[in-house]
Amino acid sequence: MIDFVQRLKQINTLEVDLPGGDIKVILENPEEYALNFVEFQITKNIKNYIEAYDIGKKFANKNMGRKDG
């Protein structure tokens, strides 16, 4: 269990970059700005999300006594 927690701790250091820009442009279409922001952050951190999912799945399977854990 300690190994799983240590591995998760290593990949859970996400850095959020706030994009700059003219506030007037953002206010013209805040939904588009938000969607672009979220899409960028997910794309930037997708490897960490997948790795965390895989670690969690292995941990759960091991706790349930499954061979693929």
Convert the pLDDT of each residue in 5-51 to its tens digit. 888 888 877 777 777 778 998 999 999 999 999 999 999 989 989 99
Summarised one tens digit per residue, pLDDT across range 56-67 is 999 899 888 876
Q: Look at the pTM and tell me if it is higher than 0.75.
A: no
Q: Which value, to the nearest 10 degrees, does the dihedral of the CA atoms of residues 52, 57, 60, 61 take?
A: -150
Q: Residue 46 CA to chain centroid, in angstroms?
A: 6
pLDDT at 68 > cutoff 70: no
Question: Looking at residue 69, what is its pLDDT?
Answer: 52
